[in-house]
Structure 1
């Protein structure tokens, strides 16, 4: 997306996945280069700053490697480039407070915190190898695990033995397991079970409730650790909650997050957001380019409107 210093959206484009961890560095750089080049050409103005906040830039080495890979591209030579993890974009989508925390729970789970003095708190967010659990993928796999054990007698009864086959259009759970094993069902498709888990918990299934409670505890724990690292115990701090699972604003899940967080940090304020992280990325990049606060505020509303439009619709200027 290209935005001028008055906060007007000049160009907008969508592309493929740009996570270097899953797609490879060359593919990720190619996606970013194509998108930046397209909106740069459509905007028709000199570039003052470029911001790329990307999934997969979790470790300092990954940021350094990506920076080196784009250094010789035309737009990277034209203006300063800020590269960082997409969590910072989510955080600034939900708040402009100088002290803040954000937790994402989409396919995976991650957290970041910032302080007014420039310090931040990050997590590697590399999955189970870095101690992570949760996100749509995590709770879906947990639901399937419980369902399989209930089906063969090793576990407690659960509605998942019916709900999961129904979701995949299969006649029973065995067909789902075999479909995953033989590749007829893609493992990535499991993530779509997240709404099923939340709904089952709301309907009173005890197994589903235990999964949602564990997820709420994990989200609250991430936020607590970030706040503690930044010594924000006595501050009124917004905690932005984003990603598909949290954007659903499930009452039971949010209540569990609140209960896990506020006894230790009573002034923390949960702020779920459904807006896309590109809103925060635009705000951060405009600030880097020297735009005034009024322009940044205008850009927030305009970028949010454009990002929510169907593919092919004209930008909102």
Structure 2
């Protein structure tokens, strides 16, 4: 008897490819740990007995007034005024991840909508929306942020708004290009010939076929948003102290030149930023490979080696 053929869904194939990517799994594991640490920041503070703003001038500073290095009481050491660096990193992860993910989702939603409309209708609609994208991309980010901070003052909502405003154009351009290709496909022409409206074609026929690029580019927008927020906080335009922020922690160490005597003040926040952005980028690459229909997985790739190659 012929062997039974088991049918696998596209989701099963995607998960198999993703689970076979070791770098992607390591990155996903780190992101999950980081999310758990951010969500459990209050628990970490309660477990250590140190809040994010508590100053331990007796035990958190040396007799000369310098921060103490990593120890059993302060896992990552203390900062220049005796605050627990590990607890502040946990709360900083909450702020960075929240702003990064929320900003990426909002920017993706705006970019997908505008890219979908521009690519589908074309003509003067595409021209106008294309010029809007060019206008947004031509605005100097720091100059705009300085002007807004001078008027409204630094805040989380202002940082989030600026990141979203300057981030959606990338998604908009990608989706526009995809829609220009999809709207001439047979299934779209068939829906149009059956009398389907523009709204139905865009959001019922075309949008589901954009799932892969939307997921991939949204994932890759998260590290960009995190770096954006850290840069604004480093320049004093983002999160208002004493609220912990990775960029603000680096700025405090740099402004006081305390990093020359306390290396941990730069190492741990910088390492957190590096590993977080690297993990999201690697995860985005893994999702791109897993969602690619032409990708047959690592076993198939090994089987396709040229003859004579060991």
- Larger-Rg structure: 2
The alignment's TM-score, normalised by the length of structure 2, stands at 0.26
The structure with the greater share of residues assigned to strand is 1
